[in-house]
Structure 1
Amino acid sequence: MPREARMPSPDHTLTSLDELEALYGSPDPRSRAKETDQLTAPYRAFVEAAPFAVLATRGPDGLDCSPRGDAPGFVRVADPHTLLLPDRRGNNRIDSLRNILADPAVSLLFLIPGIGETLRVNGTARISTDPDLLDGFSVQGRVPRTILVIRIASVFFQCSRAVVRADLWNSDARARRDGVPTAGAMLAAASGDRHGGPAYDDGLADRVRATLY
């Protein structure tokens, strides 16, 4: 059962860098040493083994965080400074792409099931429709509409504490559907019952599988 939340007092809000650094102290020197401006061999191997990443962007309407996933290695390494990320089929909101047109800054967080460490990449992206590039990412005879060409500015791994605290890869601890709202329930609540509900949930898993690419 989640603990009851309360609103924090504004009297305890940090407002300066000095206050923040006084509270946390100096960073572990190793946290800086692990950061590079390109993919090392181990960092490349991590990217190539990852089936899931979270893409963060920012634009005129604020920030966005978008899940991306496919078979391991779906984000390809063009060279030690460049990643290629296909934009697979979705709902056509294209929030991430809109943001990149306004501000090319991006961040990626790579996760591998069963592995505690994650990999963080910061850089800039451009949107490519190069036909030869798109063809190289064909799956089941379908090509993505665009490819993000990401220029790496920094890359480093994150230790496993967050994953361990979350018990993220423990199959016995994973949430069951009971108590977790369905996609249809969330859509109905957000849209004032104009969309969603049980009719949306009916056959959703099959619809997702049929429209992956």
Structure 2
Amino acid sequence: MTTPHALTTLAELEAHYAEAGEASLAKEVDYLHPHYRAFVEAAPLCLLSTVRAEYAEVSPRGDAPGFVQVLDERTLLLPDRRGNNRLDSLRNIIADPRVGLLFLIPGVNETIRVAGTAHVSVDPALIARCIVDGKAPATVLVISIQSVFFQCARALVRSSLWAPESQVARSSLPSNGTILAAVSRDPFDGVAYDESQPARMKQTLY
């Protein structure tokens, strides 16, 4: 099936845009320069992109700044904290090691993009490095860096992401329990789920 107005070749795509500026190309390196390392170590949140057979996925990963550890200029360590045990990202990495990471720092409009490959490790020495409050992650991702560069501030400036007036009240959107009750195939007690969520979050954070 043909999709009208779709650009389907590199030639068509490149003809539709101006050439990348000199700085846009010069900022990319294949290792973690000390200046880029400063951003990674200041970030309490990164988005992890992985690839599966049908499509790509992205998942948030967050903790205190420095939770993504720098082993050396070409290797990062990302602990897998407690979650929902769907293991989507980890399953994807087992099948296809390609990953991308986007590091965000509150109040900073530039982000850092890292691309490379990863493997899932249960190395006791690596896991021990990531213990928080006496709790160890089940596994760690060992990420081999292939590309690093900073993303300019336009997207976050346009979105006003960090502006206090941009904050959205959680109560203005459907609750997790409401969503589960609506989309689950079996009847789901959404009200009970919402009521138990604060305690569940506290008990399973690490």
TM-score normalised by the shorter chain: which range applies?
Answer: over 0.9
Q: Which residue of 2 aligns with 1:78?
A: 71
- Deviation >4 Å, runs of 4+: none
Letter in 2 for 1:198: V
Secondary structure, aligned partner of 2:84: coil
Secondary structure, aligned partner of 2:11: helix
Count of aligned positions: 205
Q: 1:79 to 1:173 in 2, by over 3 A?
A: same
Q: Which runs of 5+ in 2 are unaligned?
A: none
Output one character per residue of 1:79-137: Cα deviation in whole Å (capped at 9) or x when no partner.
Answer: 00000000000111111111111111000000001100000000000111011211121
Is 1:93 aligned with 2:61? no
**Which residue of the other structure, out of 10, 15, 25, is the alignment partner of 2:8?**
15
| TM-score normalized by the length of structure 2 | 0.94
Is 1:138 aligned with 2:149? no
Letter in 2 for 1:185: T
Output one character per residue of 1:150-193: Cα deviation in whole Å (capped at 9) or x when no partner.
Answer: 00000001011111111100112211134311111222222146
* RMSD across aligned positions (CA): 1.5
| CA distance, structure 2, for counterparts of residue 54 and residue 46 of structure 1 | 14
Q: Which runs of 5+ in 1 are unaligned?
A: 1-8
- Greater CA drift, 137-146 or 201-210: 201-210
What displacement does 1:59 show? 2.2
| CA distance, structure 2, for counterparts of residue 166 and residue 53 of structure 1 | 18
Is 1:120 aligned with 2:133? no
Output one character per residue of 1:37-60: Cα deviation in whole Å (capped at 9) or x when no partner.
Answer: 001111000000000000011123
| CA distance, structure 2, for counterparts of residue 153 and residue 55 of structure 1 | 15
**Which residue of the other structure, out of 66, 87, 94, is the alignment partner of 2:59?**
66
Letter in 1 for 2:143: I
Secondary structure, aligned partner of 1:162: helix
- The equivalences for 1:198-209 within 5 A come to 198-209=191-202
Secondary structure, aligned partner of 2:4: helix
| TM-score normalized by the length of structure 1 | 0.91
Secondary structure, aligned partner of 1:11: coil
Is 1:25 aligned with 2:18? yes
**Which residue of the other structure, out of 143, 167, 170, is the alignment partner of 1:174?**
167
| CA distance, structure 2, for counterparts of residue 38 and residue 96 of structure 1 | 23
Task: Judge conservation of contact 1:183–1:196 (CA < 8 Å) in 2.
Answer: no
